[in-house]
Amino acid sequence: MKILWVKAGGLVPPDAGGKIRSYNILRQLARQNSVTFFSFYAEHHPDMHAELKHMFDRVVMMPLRISAPKSVAEMRDYGIRLFSSEPYGITKYCRPEVRRGLLALLDQQSYDVILCDFIAAAGVIPWNCSTPKVIFTHNVEATIWRRHYEVATNILWKTISWLEWRKMEGAERRYLRLADLVLTVSGTDRDAFASLLDPEKLTVIPTGVDVDYFQPTPGEEPENSLVFTGSMDWLPNEDAIFYFADAILPLIKHRFPDVSLKVVGRNPSRKLQALAGSEKSIELTGWVKDIRPFLVRAAVCIVPLRIGGGTRLKIFEAMAMGKAVVSTSVGAEGLAVQSGENILLADTPNDFAESVIALLTNPKRRQQLGTAARTMVQENYSWTRVAEDFACALRGVISRTPTAPLG
């Protein structure tokens, strides 16, 4: 197959859930298919995208001047786009020069399929061309914004969340209907889109994990040690830590005053840094080259998410390393896990705290959960297997579109 993969926001370094998923699927696809990778993203230094040229047949990079998240400049840019019918998450990337660059590429080359990676890239896709077009959704973005709106207390943020929710709802409805195929990462996301689309246009591609890279590793687990992993510039992760600190941690400290939590992930906000400064039980690592040592040195991995969509790579990574995980139902939404068998799910602060305490006091139970978790992901969710399903879905949509050029 000749695949044109179009992605907003860049691909490397693969340090966030969507990037990790796309990077690993692309790496597998490129071994047996011709892949052109077209990406537009906030300019930054150092820019590693040139290194992708050894992986793909062709790489087209379009760095853009995009305001830093949560900056005054971003608020100004958001204000300029306030009355656009498109959500800010699309308009900040999908600029006229990007669309022109993509159209120029399509004038030079024909492809069997165009892959729109995340809804954020949909604004530049030429939806009227005859080549089959596939959207890889990763999340139900409108659901994420709705959940932001529901938990927000700041009136400005609540208003912004409401506007983005409504705009994103319209964008998802519009673009998903234009696509020839929509790929979701969970049955939960598929069901959320089922009212918009013919079921034949929806295919679930479960998330994966590198089971060779993430393996159980012997190491000391300090007593009463917890870990959370994830990009801390992603708002659902930040919200999860504040929720845990405010509502759950005090309950655990009542039993274990020396409990500690390492929050492992890039770009913690000043607000998070202030929290860690006042709450000595919480340590922020910032960006780390390798999260595995932090998972090894934790008794329990926590995922207290209240907001989110798609699937949680952080859970599969911890599971692949044989770690015991406590999560909310939202945190594990879309994953084929069984509470009590390979994970513990808890949705109230008291239940979450009790689940963590139960594991901290029972090393044998932690080991049982971790072993079952490792077995589940190893047998069902390697990236090789996920990419095979992905390629099969692409071949299917190509075969159903006879006007598309075949390479």
Element (H, E) at 249: helix 249-255
What are the pLDDT digits (tens) for 316-341? 999 999 999 999 999 998 788 999 99
In this predicted structure, the answer to whether residue 15 has a pLDDT above a threshold of 90 is: no
In this predicted structure, the answer to whether residue 309 has a pLDDT above a threshold of 90 is: no
pLDDT (0 to 100) of residue 312: 76
Query: For residue 119, what are the contacts with CB-CB under 8 A and spacing of at least 6?
Result: 89, 90, 135, 137, 141, 168, 171, 172, 175
Q: Calculate what percentage of the chain has a pLDDT beyond 70.
A: 98
In this predicted structure, the answer to whether residue 102 has a pLDDT above a threshold of 80 is: yes
Are the CB atoms for 63 and 41 separated by under 8 Å?
Answer: yes
pLDDT (0 to 100) of residue 310: 52
Lowest mean pLDDT among 12-16, 29-33, 399-403: 399-403
Are the CB atoms for 303 and 326 separated by under 8 Å?
Answer: yes
pLDDT (0 to 100) of residue 39: 97
How much is the average pLDDT of 245-260? 97
What is the topology classification, in CATH, of domain 2-208+383-399? Rossmann fold (3.40.50)
In this predicted structure, the answer to whether residue 219 has a pLDDT above a threshold of 90 is: no
pTM: 0.81
How much is the average pLDDT of 172-197? 94
Mean pLDDT computed over every residue of the chain: 93
Element (H, E) at 63: strand 58-64
Higher-pLDDT residue of 391, 151? 391
* Residue 52 C-beta-side C-alpha neighbours within 13 Å: 26
Nearest CA-CA partner of 332 in 299, 358, 360, 310: 310
Classified as helix, coil or strand, 149 is helix
Strands 113-117 and 282-286: unpaired
Indicate the DSSP class of residue 406.
Answer: P
In this predicted structure, the answer to whether residue 118 has a pLDDT above a threshold of 80 is: yes
Supply the Cα-derived Rg of the chain in whole angstroms. 21
**Domain range list for the chain:** 2-208+383-399, 225-380
In this predicted structure, the answer to whether residue 114 has a pLDDT above a threshold of 80 is: yes
What are the pLDDT digits (tens) for 257-284? 999 999 999 999 999 999 999 999 999 9
pLDDT (0 to 100) of residue 402: 63
In this predicted structure, the answer to whether residue 188 has a pLDDT above a threshold of 90 is: no
How much is the average pLDDT of 153-158? 93
Tell me whether domains 2-208+383-399 and 225-380 share a fold: yes
Lowest mean pLDDT among 101-115, 183-197, 349-363: 183-197
Tokens linked to 304: 């207290």
pLDDT (0 to 100) of residue 250: 98
What are the pLDDT digits (tens) for 132-155? 999 999 989 999 999 899 989 999
Binned at pLDDT 50, 70 and 90, residue 209 comes out as very high
Amino acid sitting at position 313? L
What are the pLDDT digits (tens) for 70-91? 789 999 999 988 889 999 999 9
In angstroms, rounded to a whole number, what is the distance separating the alpha carbons of residues 174 and 150?
24
What is the topology classification, in CATH, of domain 225-380? Rossmann fold (3.40.50)
Binned at pLDDT 50, 70 and 90, residue 407 comes out as very low
What are the pLDDT digits (tens) for 287-302? 999 999 999 999 999 9
Binned at pLDDT 50, 70 and 90, residue 342 comes out as very high
Tokens linked to 85: 């019918």
Binned at pLDDT 50, 70 and 90, residue 113 comes out as very high
